[in-house]
Structure 1
Amino acid sequence: MVESGTAKRCRFSFKFSRRKLNRLKMSEKINLILDCDVGVDDALAVMLALATPNNINLMAITCVAGNATVDKVCINTLKVLKVCDRLDVAVYRGACSGIIGGTFRGTPYHGVDGMGDVQNIPQPDIKLIKEEVAAIALVRMVNERPGEISIAAIGPLTNIAIAMKLDPHFTEKVKEIVIMGGELEGRAAAFLTSEFNFTSDPEAVHVVLNESKCPIVIIPYEICQNNGFDFDYYISTISQNNKKANFIKAITSNSLKREQSRAHIYTPWDFYALAYLVDRSVVTNMANVLVQVELHGSLTRGKMVPDWNRKVQKDHNTNIIMELDIDKIKILFLKMCSNA
């Protein structure tokens, strides 16, 4: 792995103890709600959750605007569920803009529809989308099973923040929140220096990071990018002749071309957050550090600000994933594509 400068500086100060890592590696089946803005990499994350039923019980998917409008995100979600023969998973429509309004749409990387603009995927029945609003559904499900549900938040955090405002005790009853978002070195460049999910709704990020009472794990942009799949592996893996591999090949075609000319690797960012939930041992190093978000900077709005030097004397429950075992993640991706 190409280790970032921040990772090198923090490697020894924040390295998890062997005992703590061993606890994280213990296998347990997770009751999961996936909160996402289904684009290409979100689709792969959903597919991984569904391909590992011994590890993940996917209870519901709550949709939020991000890579596309929330209506398109809901349709994309149903398309993924259909190809996986899992239309029984409940899908809820959520926030259509950030907490204080406005939208920050994804780049053409994911296509106009958020999922590669593939023409030959059948349109799903939108009547399958539940009438209950996502944030209300989140509050209801967590209250029905307090302490039992993990949330993977791999899009803008608007739905989670709204749920927290609806129920001040919401996160006291959530087992954990795993977030794909933020950046360590300002290289994500969704808006000069900040990462897309955080920039889409910085106020929601502020609410989640500052008011949550449950453990939070963040996997930042650079840690994913530094562990991208090499092209030979990726292309050979998605070249299997089965329904899932063909679907992945179709929706990633345009983004694959962009990555081939730019970085020579393919990085399904959101997939890594689910990989951690499926198998904790894919993470080899975490940093326990207070994390805030910039709300007002004209060039840095939405930027993640970790307190590496512990200047802010405040209790917190946040860990940043710093290193991954890419070989284990590749195995998960291969199994997912092979599981037709």
Structure 2
Amino acid sequence: MQKHQIIIDNDTAQDDCVTILLGLTDPTANVRAITTVAGNVPFDRQVANAQITLSVAGKLGEVPLHLGCRQPMLRPWVSAEDVHGDGSGGLQIDLDPGAISEEHAVDALIRLTAEQPGEISIVAIGPLTNIATAVVKDRAFVKNVKSLFIMGGSNNGRGNTTPAAEFNFYVDPHAAQIVMDAGFEDLHIVTWDPITIRDATYSRAQYDRLTSIDTPIAKLFKKVCDATLDFNESVGIDGSTHPDSITLAALLHPELILEEGRYRVDVETQSELTMGYSAMAWEKFGLQANAHVAERLDGAAFYALLEQMLHTPSVPSRPVHGLEA
């Protein structure tokens, strides 16, 4: 079986951790690198969360970890700590400096895709600062990427950070627009609304079933997701949300994509009222499409993938403090 060669570009907290775990355990995936970008939680906390996740999967030091842009391009950084806490449920790890590459994430993205043009896909599940910076630094980068799967925006729907904007596009809208204009030949977007809140949100009863599994990976899953589930319920979302991991799943298992449309996607960068809003124009408007936008994903099949992932045995690379609590 030929595996998908992937790089996961993320702001490591909650479902980013789940995405990394899915990439490391799914038999169809070969994770070539993890790259981090400013997003959900303070950057150094993201580094710890990434090492915790890699360690629990037994892969710390085996999968390269590259640190990327610590700030959005033009705007101040905005966190999602009110949603995710520290992103790891209070877990701690004694960092392994040797498991962090000295190569910047942007340089790694450019180098890896240039070494194997047309063979490596990128799953971008945080703000798009690293991806946009790679576009600007090396114009060949766009053509070297096999496919780019983005978790971001809403399909002319509601946001989750402002009424108009989803978090990833809101944090760095300028980067998002650079990526939309860059000319990626195979660009896919998985949205917050409708995809996440309809197809990738699981009730507390479903969540309890997943977290009753007795493996290190399942224990980590519960630790990183508990705070977000509590927050979701407090704002009227009935369950645990998994926008990032279903984005990776859509790449690895395209049969999960039940409906998908071609759109011209642009991201608002000027208006403070609608900053980060994703305008998705369908064919009626006569604009050249730049993205495949998921319109319906198979949430039940994705839930089965999560269950399979959580049953995967692993031996942590180094101790993760609080995992057994």
Q: Shared fold (TM-score greater than 0.5)?
A: yes
Match of 2:15 among 41, 46, 52: 41
Q: Given the superposition, is the C-alpha separation of residues 114 and 266 from structure 1 closer, same or farther in structure 2, using an over 3 Å criterion?
A: closer
Match of 2:197 among 218, 225, 228: 225
Distance 1:212 1:226 in 2: 29
Aligned-partner residue type, residue 297 of structure 1 = S
SS at match of 2:285: coil
List structure 1 runs of 4+ shifted beyond 6 angstroms.
Answer: none
Q: Which residue is 1:130 aligned to?
A: 101
SS at match of 1:68: coil
SS at match of 1:142: helix
Distance 2:272 2:222 in 1: 39
Is 1:236 equivalent to 2:209 in the alignment?
yes
How far 1:122 moved relative to its partner? 2.6
Which runs of 5 or more residues in structure 2 are unaligned? Answer: 314-325
Q: What's the CA shift string for 1:129-164, capped at 9, x where partnerless?
A: 111111011111111111110000000000001011
How far 1:278 moved relative to its partner? 2.0
Q: What's the CA shift string for 1:161-199, capped at 9, x where partnerless?
A: 101111111110100000000012442230231000001
Aligned-partner residue type, residue 103 of structure 1 = W
Match of 2:257 among 283, 290, 300: 283
Q: Which residue is 1:3 aligned to?
A: none
Distance 1:75 1:214 in 2: 34
How far 1:323 moved relative to its partner? 0.3
Q: Which residue is 1:175 aligned to?
A: 146
Q: Which residue is 1:92 aligned to?
A: 66
Match of 1:154 among 125, 129, 132: 125
Is this contact kept in 1: 2:11–2:39, CA < 8 A?
yes
How far 1:250 moved relative to its partner? 1.6
260-269 or 226-235, which moves further after superposition? 260-269
Distance 2:184 2:204 in 1: 40
How far 1:266 moved relative to its partner? 1.4
Distance 2:4 2:290 in 1: 20
Distance 1:51 1:180 in 2: 20
Q: Which residue is 2:42 aligned to?
A: 69
Is this contact kept in 2: 1:239–1:249, CA < 8 A?
no
Which runs of 5 or more residues in structure 1 are unaligned? Answer: 1-26
Aligned-partner residue type, residue 231 of structure 1 = R
Q: Given the superposition, is the C-alpha separation of residues 225 and 28 from structure 1 closer, same or farther in structure 2, using an over 3 Å criterion?
A: farther
Is this contact kept in 1: 2:229–2:241, CA < 8 A?
no
Distance 2:153 2:222 in 1: 27
Distance 1:33 1:164 in 2: 16
Is this contact kept in 2: 1:70–1:95, CA < 8 A?
no
Distance 2:75 2:269 in 1: 14
1:316-327 correspondence runs (5 A)? 316-327=289-300
| Count of aligned residue pairs for this structure pair | 309
Match of 1:106 among 67, 72, 80: 80
Match of 1:197 among 155, 163, 168: 168
Q: Given the superposition, is the C-alpha separation of residues 308 and 211 from structure 1 closer, same or farther in structure 2, using an over 3 Å criterion?
A: same
- Structure 1 length-normalised TM: 0.87
Aligned-partner residue type, residue 210 of structure 2 = T
Q: What's the CA shift string for 1:13-69, capped at 9, x where partnerless?
A: xxxxxxxxxxxxxx85210000000110100111111111x2110000110010012
SS at match of 2:207: helix
Q: Which residue is 1:51 aligned to?
A: 25
How far 1:260 moved relative to its partner? 3.5
